[in-house]
Structure 1
Amino acid sequence: MLYPTFPDFDANHNYLQKYQNRIERGEFLTLNVFIKESKSQPTVPRDAKPDWTVRFPYDDEDFEPSSTSIPVNVTDKMLSKKRNVWVTARLLTERGDRIAEAHGGVVKYDKMKEETTKYWLLSGEICEDSTERKYGSSKEPLTARGIPKMQVRLVYDRTHYPRPWKYDHYYPTMYVDEFWMTNDQLIKFKTSGDDNFTTEIHFGLMSAARWRFQHTMEHSIKQMTQQYFSGEDDEAIVQMRDLFANTNSYLLIATMVVSVLHMIFEYLALKNDVLFWRRTDAETLKRFVSLRAVGLEIVCNVVLWFYLYDQESNWLILILSLGQIGVDCWKLTQVLEVNLAWKGVLVYPTFKSRVPHSSADDYDKMALIYLSYILLPIVVGYAGYSAKYECHKSVPAYMLHVAASLVYALGFALMTPQLFINYRMKSVAHLPWRRFIYRAINTFIDDLFAFIIKMPTMHRMSCFRDDIVFLLYLYQRHIYPVDKSRAFDEDFTESAETEDQDKKND
């Protein structure tokens, strides 16, 4: 598909005539670019003076990309009439023959999406960034945004195709490539008055293989948007286009491979985590594992689930998040008896330990108290900062945003109680190390995704945060090796070896 080949002879051994590119390799061509305001694609006279000219060789090895910047003045009158500033690219031979022409507007008109207005909470005023001017009819309002970069592509094609009808040659294709331009890259105009911005016009060669691949992608995405998504600007489609457009091809292939590995390791981590909690008795779990950390993780995951739901995240992510919450809740039932109690019309859970009180409870509680001393000023400070300097849809949305941001930024603090118990017990023999290893591998894979996939800054920070936690666990494993002179280390080690032997026998 990317590099097609065609036979020289047909089934009757007759020679098949081919038609080829009329432009020879290395032949010099001229690109003239014209800028003109118009309601529709303008017709540029043959003798018009170009605003930008490029002379170049039609050769993929000697060609050098070119670019220029043009100032664009957008008036309210122009936008109200749905006019545009058109860029017309005309390709000429050395003899002055016109062989290709492409057009593109620097203003993109699109259907107005329903966006919730955001406010400054302290003053109650509407944020300017959350409002845009509307054009067109009241039934179908439109928005207008500026295109910061216009890419003019000339396809470099040396393929000999089967000859159709009477043609014996073809000219290279030239077009304005807007496929990779997503809405988050467009320039928002002011809510009133005229506006100015700068558009960069970039001219470059595109290989025939990439051109075919992109056309196939365009066709596939168009079909997907019609069947499964709300439009070409759906968040999933935007991320897919951004990934293919802004990622090195080798890194993209590596990402696809490690994505499969990520799913495998995630499954193995979950499997070993469940096995550990199912096979370890309640007394050992309560003695060595921070139950408060598990409870905090449930609360944080619930907060993040509501935040992702509010941000209209993909349903697959929401379902996986619910699954993780369910597993964490099941963990608590291995050590605690959970019952529901009524207080009037309200229902709330009650917890009762299955085993007697242990010193680990005191360590767990002590770690949580120390942690609250550190986190409380940070929570109050960030909440005040967000209320004063950030826009929000409502007070509940503000509270959810603050909670989710703190969970993303300070999630590593959830592991502090477990680290503290390890420190006081001077032992890590009780931890599910297989699960930690699988999760650690996935953490480093997440670091790769953090560089190439579009995501909130807080979520990107959380990927590197998990690296720190795992390194702390490795350090504790180094300074607290398994000591069989301690009864609980020996018991736990023998128990683990017995379980491994049972699995082999099964």
Structure 2
Amino acid sequence: MDLYVYISEHEHFTDFNVSSALFWQKRDLVYGDWTSGENADGCYEHYGEVDISQSVQQNGSIYIHVYFTKSGFHPDPRQKNLYRRLATVHTSRMINKYKRRRFQKTKNLLTGETEADPEMIKRAEDYGPVEVISHWHPNLTINMVDDHTPWVKGSVPPPLDQYVKFDAISGDYYPILYFNDYWNLQKDYFPINETLQRLPFRLSFCPLSLWRWQLYAAQSTKSPWNFLGEDLYEQSDEEQDSVKVALLETNPYLLALTIVVSIVHSIFEFLAFKNDIQFWNSRQSLEGLSVRSVFFGVFQSLVVLLYILDNETNFVVQVSVFIGLLIDLWKITKVMDVRLDRENKVAGVFPRITFKDKSTYIESSTKVYDDMAFRYLSWILFPLLGCYAVYSLLYLEHKGWYSWVLSMLYGFLLTFGFITMTPQLFINYKLKSVAHLPWRMLTYKALNTFIDDLFAFVIKMPMMYRIGCLRDDVVFFIYLYQRWIYRVDLTRINEFGVSGEDQVSPRPPLPAGSPPTLPDGVPPGGEKTPEDKKKD
């Protein structure tokens, strides 16, 4: 075969006589030859520079046209003696890529100053906050699939069907050409502007096996989520880049461990979610549980949701956070009596929602300890919140006052989020018990926290986030310490002469004439005194 590669600004190429359009010509290639080439792997490379016009400099398009012909033929249809339709295969594509660049106009709310690049500010004023810019990547690979499968038109499975071209008369298909840019990372693209006169371009030709082609074609297919907009498509490209970098730079054993741990993390996340719902759905008493922590969790989830809506975030992440907020709102109905007061309406239209503590919470000592814990906590929480708000206002830039409030609250929760767990620790300390906690759910969440610690040191991320991954570990170890010091004493004998060991082992028969008893040692019709309950 002979290879002809042309570079043009036109999608439909006809300038075969223009010598400057021919970028690369390679003769006497053999179909399915894996032994020749520059590195004895069947691959050939060509490096050159592409001259671009003013149109391309100003966001114009540029195309590559690839022709393979049987040796001795020419791809130009106007050369009647050298052109043959069945001896020529052709494919083309646009080789520049349009990417959207967003400009976030932020400033210090007190001084009005910004550290943004003045050139970026000027471009944002000229083109708006979203600018579409043509980008260039200097590498591209042309693959010819080495395959002899007898494909029949209409039976090629997707996404392979878009690459297999059949001859309308004979029904045979042409050799399959595939432009492979899978390993072109987004960070390696650079913008095309007026300062560039030539573009560097390295073009490779390699044979490709069928199964590898199927993998590349499947990965290059657009995600079904793309109907949600181009923002999600661009984010998916960046997410795929992180996977590619991990495949290229990570140790294979560490990569395998990361994949296994990721699967285990997903399983534990589901189990923690399931057990959390089961625990709150079956809970009849609020003894030992902090109701105010539930409300604080709702506030925290609401702040996170508003923050990611104010900033550009993946749609899937927004949905997951929203579902988490709904679950936290559902927990309120389990810890409090929520009612709609239809007589006392808001603005005379909407029923007023009333909240009332459940009786099991009012009658228990937990309410006293919960109030005490949050009173002590407010002495630390509110000064920290005030200091962080002043710091954020003085030294950070924001889009507006609304963004300042959200970013200030989000940053505060990210830094001091562990404080929401301390009231429960205080209640455990005052009750000298941890039997009321959902230990199965806590165990799953703790295991996920340890897995997050592993990712924090494997994946590149800010140091503050890594420190944040360790804070939940400290709280959980305190939970474990409380479980160890507040163990159940099975040898203690209660007022009925029964110990925990007796309840585990078979009970001896009752003496003749003794009144029947319930399993917990309480006579029928009898009731324990508050002192007895406290001892138990």
Q: Distance in 1 between matches of 2:397 and 2:48?
A: 33
Which of 173, 176, 181 pairs up with 1:177? 181
Aligned to 1:3: none
Residue 187 of structure 1 and its aligned partner are, at CA, apart by 5.5
Residues 381-407 of structure 1 deviation map (CA, whole Å, 9 limit, x = unaligned): 433343344432221111111212222
Q: Distance in 1 between matches of 2:91 and 2:335?
A: 64
Is the 8 Å Cα contact of residues 266 and 442 (structure 1) preserved in structure 2? no
Aligned to 1:212: 214
Is the 8 Å Cα contact of residues 145 and 213 (structure 2) preserved in structure 1? no
Residues 314-358 of structure 1 deviation map (CA, whole Å, 9 limit, x = unaligned): 353144123222233123217x99989889889675544625566
* Matched ranges for 1:165-204 at <5 A: 173=177, 175=179, 177=181, 181-182=185-186
Which structure 2 segments of 5+ residues have no match?
A: 25-33, 69-73, 76-87, 152-165, 248-254, 505-518, 520-536
448 and 469 in structure 1: CA distance in 2 versus 1, 3 angstrom threshold: same
Aligned to 1:466: 472
Q: Distance in 1 between matches of 2:47 and 2:382?
A: 50
* Matched ranges for 1:54-453 at <5 A: 81-83=58-60, 108-110=97-99, 117-125=105-113, 127-128=116-117, 133=123, 143-144=132-133, 146-147=135-136, 150-153=138-141, 155=143, 158-162=146-150, 173=177, 175=179, 177=181, 181-182=185-186, 208-221=210-223, 225=226, 228-231=227-230, 233-234=232-233, 237-238=236-237, 241-242=240-241, 244-248=243-247, 250=256, 254=260, 257-258=263-264, 261-262=267-268, 264-275=270-281, 278-279=283-284, 281-282=285-286, 285=287, 288-311=288-311, 313-314=315-316, 316-333=319-336, 351-352=356-357, 354=359, 355-356=361-362, 360-444=366-450
Residue 215 of structure 1 and its aligned partner are, at CA, apart by 1.4
Residue 72 of structure 1 and its aligned partner are, at CA, apart by 12
| 3-state DSSP of counterpart to 2:123 | coil
410 and 194 in structure 1: CA distance in 2 versus 1, 3 angstrom threshold: farther
Residues 190-212 of structure 1 deviation map (CA, whole Å, 9 limit, x = unaligned): 9xx95999989697977653332
Aligned to 1:8: none
Amino acid at match of 1:177: D
262 and 435 in structure 1: CA distance in 2 versus 1, 3 angstrom threshold: closer
Q: Distance in 1 between matches of 2:297 and 2:178?
A: 55
Aligned to 1:26: none
Q: Distance in 1 between matches of 2:386 and 2:100?
A: 40
Is the 8 Å Cα contact of residues 89 and 103 (structure 1) preserved in structure 2? yes
Aligned to 1:4: none
**Higher alpha-carbon deviation: 121-130 or 427-436:** 121-130
Residue 415 of structure 1 and its aligned partner are, at CA, apart by 0.5
Is the 8 Å Cα contact of residues 145 and 209 (structure 2) preserved in structure 1? yes
Is the 8 Å Cα contact of residues 447 and 463 (structure 1) preserved in structure 2? yes
**Higher alpha-carbon deviation: 453-462 or 378-387:** 453-462
**Higher alpha-carbon deviation: 252-261 or 289-298:** 252-261
89 and 418 in structure 1: CA distance in 2 versus 1, 3 angstrom threshold: farther
Q: Distance in 1 between matches of 2:132 and 2:466?
A: 31
| TM norm structure 1 | 0.61
**Percent pairwise identity:** 25
Residue 416 of structure 1 and its aligned partner are, at CA, apart by 1.1
Residue 145 of structure 1 and its aligned partner are, at CA, apart by 5.4
Residue 455 of structure 1 and its aligned partner are, at CA, apart by 9.3
RMSD (Å) for aligned C-alpha atoms: 6.0
Q: Distance in 2 between matches of 1:68 and 1:59?
A: 12
**Higher alpha-carbon deviation: 153-162 or 449-458:** 449-458
187 and 259 in structure 1: CA distance in 2 versus 1, 3 angstrom threshold: farther
Q: Distance in 2 between matches of 1:60 and 1:464?
A: 51
| 3-state DSSP of counterpart to 1:124 | coil
Amino acid at match of 1:321: G
388 and 33 in structure 1: CA distance in 2 versus 1, 3 angstrom threshold: farther
Q: Distance in 1 between matches of 2:93 and 2:299?
A: 50
444 and 158 in structure 1: CA distance in 2 versus 1, 3 angstrom threshold: farther
338 and 65 in structure 1: CA distance in 2 versus 1, 3 angstrom threshold: farther
Residues 442-469 of structure 1 deviation map (CA, whole Å, 9 limit, x = unaligned): 4445557768999999777655543333
Which structure 1 segments of 5+ residues have no match?
A: 1-21, 24-30, 51-55, 92-96, 502-506
The higher-RCO structure (CA 8 Å, 6+ apart) is: 1
264 and 467 in structure 1: CA distance in 2 versus 1, 3 angstrom threshold: same
358 and 73 in structure 1: CA distance in 2 versus 1, 3 angstrom threshold: farther
Amino acid at match of 2:140: V
| 3-state DSSP of counterpart to 1:329 | helix
Residue 477 of structure 1 and its aligned partner are, at CA, apart by 1.8
Residue 359 of structure 1 and its aligned partner are, at CA, apart by 5.1
Q: Distance in 1 between matches of 2:198 and 2:429?
A: 58
Is the 8 Å Cα contact of residues 157 and 207 (structure 1) preserved in structure 2? yes
**Number of aligned residues:** 441
**Does 2:469 align with 1:479?**
no
179 and 64 in structure 1: CA distance in 2 versus 1, 3 angstrom threshold: closer
Is the 8 Å Cα contact of residues 8 and 21 (structure 2) preserved in structure 1? no
Residue 265 of structure 1 and its aligned partner are, at CA, apart by 0.8
136 and 189 in structure 1: CA distance in 2 versus 1, 3 angstrom threshold: same
402 and 224 in structure 1: CA distance in 2 versus 1, 3 angstrom threshold: closer
Q: Distance in 2 between matches of 1:185 and 1:273?
A: 50
Amino acid at match of 2:123: R
Is the 8 Å Cα contact of residues 335 and 358 (structure 2) preserved in structure 1? no
Residues 72-127 of structure 1 deviation map (CA, whole Å, 9 limit, x = unaligned): 9999x777633579999999xxxxx99999999886435687x7643332233564
Q: Distance in 2 between matches of 1:290 and 1:327?
A: 16
| TM norm structure 2 | 0.59
472 and 195 in structure 1: CA distance in 2 versus 1, 3 angstrom threshold: farther
